[in-house]
Amino acid sequence: DGLDADVRKLTDKRSKVLGESYRLFYRKPVHLVRGEGQYLWDAAGDKYLDVYNNVASIGHCHPAVIDAVYQQMQQLNTHTRYLHERILDYSEELLATMPGEIDRAMYMCTGSEANDLAIRVARAYSGGTGIIVSQEAYHGTSDLTSGVSPALGTGQPLAATTRLVSPPDRYRVTAPDLGDWFAGEIQKQIDDMAANGIKFAGFLADSIFSSDGVLPGPKGFLKKAVDVVHKNGGIFIADEVQPGFARTGDAFWGFARHGVVPDIVTTGKPMGNGIPVSALLAKSDVLASFSDDIPYFNTFGGNPVAMAAAQAVLKVIKEEGLQEHSRVVGDELLRELLTLKDKYDCVGDVRGAGLFIGFELVTDKASKTPDKQLALDVTEKLRDNHVLTSVAGPYGNVLKLRPPLAFQRSDIDWLVGALDKSLAELGK
Ligand code: PMP
């Protein structure tokens, strides 16, 4: 099978000791042993450009996070049933990045836990159960969140209270006003719930629709959809697990690109640069409907070490100007990628916000027929050129380009060159 002995040994061992739901990337799996900034190294010493991982958001092994965690770990690590400054200081800092109405923070360890609690709060507040998500959404691993995660496929049934909306795909939706169209789609699903005796609780969405194929849409287009949600007594939960923490360049939060104020915001992945920490942020009156009756305790959530990591991340984003960096370098990368769109008939659409870009592969521009096989082949070719990416979207034909924010101008040539070479080698 052409695998190195080292890789073969590890894949064999994985299949003996790990649960079978795990999926490895690549025909030739990558065995990573070290990371720094936007780069990763494998066991053979080969260097890779990371264009996929937003967890190590401020850069792999960032010294500020290592130091903060090390210092706090030496002093104390316990839970939220004792007083501690860090959780309070961090909450003030984090809430300061949000619209003023959002004034309460709670902490967990994963995005799944944050969304799970968000659904429970939405239900307590609205008195309804119905949740709307996008067609290919992924929101987590728990029973509640997997029930609103169609991306998991047909093996994972959706909850009876879940309704799906078509994603706001500017490349494929022909309606002149994407915002009006999308708001109409939401209204249809709310009406369908009503017709089936389900009271609407809320709309849960990743504002860049990453698993739907990375669909940033025009700034502001979500506003009408959020208005429809509120008019129908539901709440808007912004899942910021992917677009949050300066990623989109235009704003610190994905929802802020659209000028909307969510009722609940959930975060995860980039928040601690790899240390497990996630949060639910909410308007106090929305949260009160739940927390007045039900206690919440998360053993590891909000512990001093997690808070130290999160504080360091927020500080580095500000000190290193990473939001502006994401906007500027993301714009430049997008422009370079658009030259490939001009060059190849199989590159149907390139879109993005900051360092979050979707590169859509089709059989040809005229038909827009999704080319999943090509996307897979390109991903494998990129891997051979030591560039790590993955695919997204309902057809699996969109390359998801979402590097650590440590990605630099000087990395653009490596990525775009490898993409160009891959497409050429595949006879495009
Ligand atoms: N929401 C979104 C949009 C995600 O991308 C993910 C993780 N891929 C989650 C929620 C779940 O986060 P976690 O894996 O930390 O539970």
Structural domains for the chain: 31-58+321-425 (3.90.1150.10), 63-319 (3.40.640.10)
Phi, psi (deg, nearest 5) at residue 328: -70, -50
**pLDDT tens column, 291-306:** 888 999 999 999 999 9
The pick from 53, 107, 112 for probing ligand 1's pocket by mutation, whose C-beta has the most ligand atoms within 8 angstroms, reads 112
Question: Is 263 near ligand 1, meaning CB less than 6 Å away?
Answer: no
Whose tokens are 């004792």? That residue is 82
207 touches ligand 1 (CB under 6 Å):
no
Q: Give 399: exposed, middle or buried? Use CB within 10 Å, 0-12, 13-18, 19+.
A: buried
Q: In this structure, what token pair is assigned to residue 244?
A: 């949050």
Strands 200-205 and 387-388: unpaired
pLDDT at 157 over 80: yes
How confident is the model over 221-231, as a mean pLDDT? Answer: 98
In the chain, DSSP finds a helix count (H) and a strand count (E) of 12, 15
DSSP strands (E only) in 188-304: 200-205, 235-239, 264-267, 278-283
- For the entire predicted model, the pTM comes to 0.98
Expressed in angstroms and rounded, the spacing between residue 265 Cα and the centre of ligand 1 is 13
Give the residue from 248, 280, 281, 310 showing the smallest Cα distance to 101: 281
Q: Verify whether ligand 1 is closer than 6 Å to residue 140 (CB atom).
A: yes
Taking only the tens place, the pLDDT of each residue in 77-107 is 999 999 999 999 999 999 999 999 999 999 9
The rounded Å distance from CA 139 to ligand 1 centre is 5
Mean pLDDT value of segment 212-224: 97
Query: How many CB atoms neighbour CB 11 within 10 A?
Result: 15
Ligand 1 contacts CB of residue 239 (under 6 A): yes
Q: Does the interface ipTM go beyond 0.85? A: yes
Burial 183-195 (b: 16+ CB within 10 A, else e): bebbbebbeebee
Question: Is the Cβ atom of 112 under 6 angstroms away from ligand 1?
Answer: yes
| pLDDT, mean over the chain | 97
Structure tokens belonging to residue 134: 């996008």
Cα dihedral across residues 244, 249, 254, 255: positive or negative? positive
Cα of 111 to ligand 1 centre, how many Å? 5
Residue 1 scores a pLDDT above 80:
no
Would you say the CB of residue 53 lies under 6 angstroms from ligand 1? no
CA pair distance 94, 202, nearest whole angstrom: 24
In this structure, are residues 381 and 354 in contact, taking their beta carbons and an 8 Å threshold? no
